Structure 1
């Protein structure tokens, strides 16, 4: 493949456009890093290990309990009340048909329990309803719904990793992950990165992008070690910038997996994890640092013996997301710390005007690699839509979701919400309905987020209830269904959400609940769909049953939310008390420390900085993290 030299402008930069189909997760090859990691022949072995990062996160504070604990207490109270009703019924104290507000009749029977997966009485009946009741009809012109449950695998030929001239330790790590053939984006970028060129890559989700830049970076580091006269002096040579903490944790896990047969060290600098332990790691000058922009600036300003003046490779991953989240000024500030002779690699799912600005600012005569970055979904993805309009459905959207999750999609399902508090409310409803779920959004601590990912990944939880925090980059093997409770605002965000399923040639399903304001986006999806769209109709009796049950659980939800508010107030008081106590007993040590400095943007005065993350989340009018 011949690559011509280009100038710094986008018009004259060499552009490598790859066919549309190569951007998809192709059958027979591990195009997605984590899709190639987990194998059924290896018991619970995952290359992306989140345990170390989760252990480094701050634990629960005094008086703080988990959501599962609170839900468990309410369920225990419900069972105790049911037992009392049974006892009273036997004594003739209740009428036989009377129910309490929890949906329990006088005989102690939970009349709505059979709706969920835990009810054995109607389990076989619900399986039949799944085939006959959930009517799936084609809404395209041709009629008939194409099935992708068993997609035909096509044979694809390409370069192997041995053909890319990688060192033996890297080939050994790749072989251990079960990879054989490099994906198109890997074939295009690995030789270019090894040559030292700046690169701008536009790759769709699941194209193997992370390994596409980690492998050549590791190769460059190994080659540099071979020519180094002294092995005692080390310095940070590579910095990878990620827009979110979860993506940074995942990227570090990729580095660790691919560098397992080398002595290359990788450290992480992200918010939400212990700053002191990160300082200790950074002082040892690891070759690779994976970071989020804000925490990296903090360490550059305040961590002694840590610098990036010898960095040779800078990677900006998910650059469009970096800028969308408001990190423009932080990125500008960081670029001042790096040498102008560095190699810069920029990856972005979309090439927005802001990304083009960043390309001109930070890259020199870049090679551009495009793998059909815009508006593509996997050909094995089935897209279905549930119209939520009319008197019977507009106020029963929550009942529609619980009906779907209890009857049709019972495991490996991600549900996206538009607001954090809505995701948390459904976490409580799912728990009270005894559906195993985990939540992931910006109101959680970093430790809680990583634990939720681990639980869902390890199939300890059947549902992941999240905001757009999980829409980009997070790779979880075997996700069968994505449900959009709230539709995103843009087609690009929709593509990223549904890209969590139908990866590596596997079948997947996306279910979206459509309201009147979503019609414009639905037309865009229909126009660019690679397969037929379908409408799913939920049986009205199931919706009515869940409506009754949700109404019965509402007092329990309010009870838990009240306990959480009390815990929050208690934690705030405890923090103030601990701070005052610390000042009294360690005042001399505290005031003798060097004063920390903070980077503040023009639009971010000191008082506003404490709430910056929250304000950034609500940037679009609705909080989507």
Structure 2
């Protein structure tokens, strides 16, 4: 049966879109939600499930898809207050679900107020202290709000192009950010408008409101409107009136579900500490990793360079468990990759700084090891909060130096943190000192990294505000450097004051009197503090403008002075003064000065000090004083002679007159060259004659061959003429070859052979004169001329 045809819409009418139906349902749902929110019981909240709260269908669908059904304690108290638009100070243990406690009110409040679309502008700003925590919050926001909500949400944490973030930021309704990057956009992005901001959320508020982010947060708050809803959440919440006034909170509700609890940490967390001297911490850490290879561990250190050194050292020793490291100096892409790998791993060990101590939700972490003591009890609570999350079990251990035990236990006891002391078994403890020394000796980069790690640790102890717990003078720094494999403890220079940058940038008027010149006149009247100083006054008060002028004037005055009394009066004020006069006469020789004769040295050696006496025992120093040996060889008869019998230039000049020797050498060389030149000329001449004769013979044969067929009667004469010519040529060639033969030699023999050849040629020429043509005569003439 064919399917029925669908009716085409009228050309003048548009087809009804399903989106309009959805919008119509939303419009009907919003008044009902608003009425339900107004009827919420804020004082005695007895809600246990998300379905009991007046939430929109898209939010419920997102919670169901993420398998969130039951409310935690902080969510039961904070979500109804957030839905009602109240300012909240939320404090709860780590891993108690604080993220959903502020994300659900953000989605619901903007949903009920129709704050959707690019024209609505920014409606909610969520600020996180670290990039990793901001990414985690954004992922939860996507999972919850990605099932029907139409908000435009974005992540602004840096690491990307600023222009791309600026283009996307103007269309966002919800933004998750870090303080520094958001302040940069508020001050530089012209199209970014926050006048309609409805909600401000600060996650890990105690960390954001401290000195590290105080300036950025204050600047951000100045940009935001006063009429807004503000929510602060953290495991250790602040109650300072100054902090609350900075954020313009209006009658905030303090929600602390675990305020009456006996401990500030989760119930399933087992906490221990062990007394570990500073030089033994690396050995104890290595032994712990060897015993927990099948566990998922986070190791906290105080500085990023320490993280790098421990990671590189342990990685080369191959402990048998995957190692990762995380610190603030890494690139954003690297940090995200390390966070992902550690989250998905079943067994791994992550070395990290406090950048991973707050808010990060790593699943199934078994151990939290704190090699370096935290700066305070709040940092300890956040560190151990990476394990035992969502009512799971976990274990944490803290390594304490004996000097840190009393102060740290007192601080933890004030925060209701129970810790138990445990001892390390000496049999299972392994020393890695020799292995680290070997690696640092072979690899200079690892050694340099270890020196930087040592300096970073010492600096982190020095800048601590708790001087009772962290006592620099009681730490065995020399032994600690030795345990790291370093040849010695690097020298560390600390600047004066707790804040070197503030001291450097402070004005001159605020510096101590010790920094000023001591040569100022004490009788000068003190300047009134109430009198304002102009720029010109401050310019003339400078002490370094004429630093050379006074000394130059003294030098000029000394030339005009005639008496020594004037010079003595100014002696104390001169730039260069004479404190002691040493006589120029040489000092008398002491009793221990002596001359020592050493074998192999041409003359005696002067020994006038202990250093010179010590130099006598050095083989390398003595080689410089001894004469250099000469290489000898033995001839066939067994006699020794120098290998290179070369006469020196000085000896040759002494026994030989240079000018006469040069002239004699030039004459000898000239004679030798002339003799060789005559010989070369004669050889060249013989070759030319032989070549010319052969060419003439070849031409003659060709010519006779052509004439043979034409004239038969003259064959006999031509043959006689040819034979005579050949005999003549053979005689000329034989004359050159037979010159060396015979009894005579020298010039007489040459003259005799030359005369004989001339006579023979003249006779032959006379006999053949009548029968030779012009060419034959030319050949003979050329031969006579050559000879």
Please, what TM-score do these two structures have when normalized by structure 2? Answer: 0.49
1:530 CA drift (Å): 7.0
For residues 463 and 524 of structure 1, what CA distance do their matches in structure 2 show?
A: 28
Of 266, 287, 302, 1:378 maps to 266
State the match for 2:155 in structure 1.
Answer: 268
1:411 CA drift (Å): 2.9
1:173 CA drift (Å): 1.3
User: Is 2:405 the partner of 1:521?
Assistant: no
1:498 CA drift (Å): 0.8
For residues 298 and 449 of structure 2, what CA distance do their matches in structure 1 show?
A: 27
State the match for 1:166 in structure 2.
Answer: 55
Give per-residue Cα distances to partners, 1:588-622, cap 9 Å, x unaligned. xxxxxxxxxxxxxxx989x99xxxxxxxxxxxxxx
For residues 280 and 231 of structure 1, what CA distance do their matches in structure 2 show?
A: 15
- CA gap of 1:531–1:340, structure 2 versus 1, over 3 A, is closer
Could you tell me whether the CA contact under 8 Å between 2:439 and 2:446 is conserved in 1?
A: no
Q: Secondary structure at the residue paired with 2:50? A: coil
1:422 CA drift (Å): 0.9
Q: Secondary structure at the residue paired with 2:119? A: coil
1:522 CA drift (Å): 2.7
State the match for 2:85 in structure 1.
Answer: 196
Of 343, 367, 375, 1:489 maps to 375
State the match for 1:233 in structure 2.
Answer: 119
For residues 282 and 118 of structure 2, what CA distance do their matches in structure 1 show?
A: 60
Q: Secondary structure at the residue paired with 1:290? A: strand
State the match for 1:462 in structure 2.
Answer: 348
State the match for 1:333 in structure 2.
Answer: 219
1:276 CA drift (Å): 2.6
State the match for 2:497 in structure 1.
Answer: none
- CA gap of 1:159–1:482, structure 2 versus 1, over 3 A, is same
Superposed, 1:190-589 pairs within 5 Å as 190-225=79-114, 233-261=119-147, 262-283=149-170, 285-352=171-238, 354=240, 356-359=242-245, 361-372=247-258, 376-389=264-277, 394-434=278-318, 435-459=321-345, 462-519=348-405, 520-525=407-412, 533-540=420-427, 542-544=429-431, 546-555=432-441, 558-560=444-446
- CA gap of 1:556–1:376, structure 2 versus 1, over 3 A, is farther
User: Is 2:62 the partner of 1:178?
Assistant: no
For residues 394 and 167 of structure 2, what CA distance do their matches in structure 1 show?
A: 43
Give per-residue Cα distances to partners, 1:341-367, cap 9 Å, x unaligned. 211112233344657533564211222
- CA gap of 1:344–1:218, structure 2 versus 1, over 3 A, is same
Could you tell me whether the CA contact under 8 Å between 2:287 and 2:428 is conserved in 1?
A: no
Q: Secondary structure at the residue paired with 1:236? A: coil
Could you tell me whether the CA contact under 8 Å between 2:235 and 2:382 is conserved in 1?
A: no
Q: Secondary structure at the residue paired with 2:208? A: helix
For residues 388 and 338 of structure 2, what CA distance do their matches in structure 1 show?
A: 21
- CA gap of 1:558–1:412, structure 2 versus 1, over 3 A, is farther
1:548 CA drift (Å): 3.5
For residues 271 and 176 of structure 2, what CA distance do their matches in structure 1 show?
A: 35
1:549 CA drift (Å): 3.1
For residues 134 and 246 of structure 2, what CA distance do their matches in structure 1 show?
A: 25
For residues 286 and 555 of structure 1, what CA distance do their matches in structure 2 show?
A: 55
1:398 CA drift (Å): 0.7
1:563 CA drift (Å): 10
Q: Secondary structure at the residue paired with 1:494? A: helix
Pick the structure with more helix per residue: 2
Which fold has the larger relative contact order, with Cα–Cα distance below 8 Å and residues 6 or more apart in sequence?
A: 1
Superposed, 1:45-194 pairs within 5 Å as 159-194=48-83
Q: Secondary structure at the residue paired with 1:496? A: helix
Indicate the structure (1 or 2) with the bigger Cα radius of gyration: 2
For residues 57 and 441 of structure 2, what CA distance do their matches in structure 1 show?
A: 61
Could you tell me whether the CA contact under 8 Å between 2:118 and 2:172 is conserved in 1?
A: no
Could you tell me whether the CA contact under 8 Å between 1:437 and 1:463 is conserved in 2?
A: yes
Could you tell me whether the CA contact under 8 Å between 1:437 and 1:461 is conserved in 2?
A: no
Matched positions, count = 411
Could you tell me whether the CA contact under 8 Å between 1:437 and 1:464 is conserved in 2?
A: yes
1:219 CA drift (Å): 1.3
Could you tell me whether the CA contact under 8 Å between 2:270 and 2:395 is conserved in 1?
A: yes
1:524 CA drift (Å): 4.4
For residues 349 and 383 of structure 2, what CA distance do their matches in structure 1 show?
A: 15
- CA gap of 1:552–1:179, structure 2 versus 1, over 3 A, is same
For residues 117 and 162 of structure 2, what CA distance do their matches in structure 1 show?
A: 28
State the match for 2:640 in structure 1.
Answer: none
Give per-residue Cα distances to partners, 1:250-296, cap 9 Å, x unaligned. 2111211111112222112223343232122113x211011112211
For residues 422 and 204 of structure 1, what CA distance do their matches in structure 2 show?
A: 29
- CA gap of 1:362–1:487, structure 2 versus 1, over 3 A, is same
- CA gap of 1:274–1:224, structure 2 versus 1, over 3 A, is same
For residues 558 and 251 of structure 1, what CA distance do their matches in structure 2 show?
A: 42
Structure 1: which 5+ residue stretches go unaligned?
1-14, 19-156, 566-602, 609-625
1:216 CA drift (Å): 1.5
Q: Secondary structure at the residue paired with 1:517? A: coil
Q: Secondary structure at the residue paired with 2:200? A: strand
State the match for 1:58 in structure 2.
Answer: none
1:488 CA drift (Å): 0.7
- CA gap of 1:184–1:556, structure 2 versus 1, over 3 A, is farther
- CA gap of 1:458–1:555, structure 2 versus 1, over 3 A, is farther
Q: Secondary structure at the residue paired with 1:330? A: helix
1:541 CA drift (Å): 5.7
Could you tell me whether the CA contact under 8 Å between 2:368 and 2:383 is conserved in 1?
A: yes
- CA gap of 1:481–1:558, structure 2 versus 1, over 3 A, is farther
Give per-residue Cα distances to partners, 1:62-85, cap 9 Å, x unaligned. xxxxxxxxxxxxxxxxxxxxxxxx
- CA gap of 1:556–1:419, structure 2 versus 1, over 3 A, is farther
Give per-residue Cα distances to partners, 1:74-112, cap 9 Å, x unaligned. xxxxxxxxxxxxxxxxxxxxxxxxxxxxxxxxxxxxxxx
For residues 145 and 329 of structure 2, what CA distance do their matches in structure 1 show?
A: 33
1:554 CA drift (Å): 3.0
Could you tell me whether the CA contact under 8 Å between 1:246 and 1:450 is conserved in 2?
A: yes
Q: Secondary structure at the residue paired with 1:162? A: helix
Give per-residue Cα distances to partners, 1:202-240, cap 9 Å, x unaligned. 222212111101011111222223xx7x96733111111
For residues 204 and 372 of structure 1, what CA distance do their matches in structure 2 show?
A: 7
Cα-Cα RMSD: 3.2
